[in-house]
Structure 1
Amino acid sequence: MAKTAAPDGMIFDDKGNLYFGDLENNKIQYLTLNGKINTLCEGEKIKWADTFSIYDGYLFYTNSRINETKKWRF
């Protein structure tokens, strides 16, 4: 096991790597079979990465941006 940042959305690839979002740092990371955490990509375009899918060798994800929601009082 490994300690990670707060994730949302996860998926395993066919090699056993676990991909997950790092919500607090705008990253997508992955955990290898030997327990090492690597960063796949990071930056301002990654906003609360969620709902991962792998198709034809590509990793797809959504930016849920749930942290940007506003409270409305009715």
Structure 2
Amino acid sequence: KTFAKHVGHVLLAYIDSMNDPLCILTPEIRRELEPGLFSLCEMLGEHNREALMVSALDSGGMTLMKSFWREYEKQ
């Protein structure tokens, strides 16, 4: 429960790194990270995801977050 308040920051760091042209995460690395990141999405919930998108992400980050969330919902 205590970690839950930090989940948004962890996901934000991931989205920021994916949005950074100097940071390269290969598809293999992303696949390895997905189970843990999807667990974070479950902890975050939709309401907090929306708040994160509005308050902390630029348009590129929002696009990445929406795409990532769709992948989370598929699994």
TM-score (norm 2): 0.28
Judging by fraction of residues, say which structure has more strand.
1
Q: Which has the larger radius of gyration?
A: 1
Judging by fraction of residues, say which structure has more helix.
2
